[in-house]
Amino acid sequence: MFDIGFTELLVIGLVALIVIGPEWLLRVVRTLGHLADRLQHYVADVKADINHEVELDELRKMKDSVQNAAHGIEDSVQSEIKKTEGDLNAAANSAAADTPTLPEKTA
């Protein structure tokens, strides 16, 4: 992130020692450490939330594609069932028309 070398840190430390003083320097460094830790936790939480939302979005897209595929399959099965039913009805009607009727027996 930042390209700070050892010499830059040494200069910053010396300036802080002169400006802040030796008795307050430890408290300031400790406070800065706590703030940096909180910042890291906050950034980690934000990253986790973003990743979670991305995964949820991908799952929603996958769910929609599966539902669309299921509806497509259901529609094709329904159309095949109707076609087969129509063919069977036509075959039954033609078989009934081709079958001769037997005369009824009288007793």
Domain boundaries, the chain: 9-89
On whether the CB atoms of residues 28 and 16 are closer than 8 A, the answer is yes
- Burial (0-12, 13-18, 19+ Cβ within 10 Å), 25: middle
The first and second tokens of residue 85, run together, are: 């039913």
On whether the CB atoms of residues 44 and 36 are closer than 8 A, the answer is no
- The predicted structure's pLDDT at residue 92: 86
On whether the CB atoms of residues 18 and 11 are closer than 8 A, the answer is no
Angle at CA of residue 79, ends 87 and 75, nearest 5°: 165
Q: What is the pLDDT of residues 72-103, one digit of tens each?
A: 999 999 999 999 999 999 888 887 777 666 56
The first and second tokens of residue 71, run together, are: 């509806």
1 pLDDT above the threshold of 60: no
- Taking all residues of the chain, what is their mean pLDDT, rounded to a whole number? 88
Q: What is the pLDDT of residues 23-64, one digit of tens each?
A: 888 888 899 899 999 999 999 999 999 999 999 999 999 999
Q: Which of 30, 35, 37, 2 is nearest to 16 (CA)?
A: 30
- The predicted structure's pLDDT at residue 102: 59
- The predicted structure's pLDDT at residue 25: 84
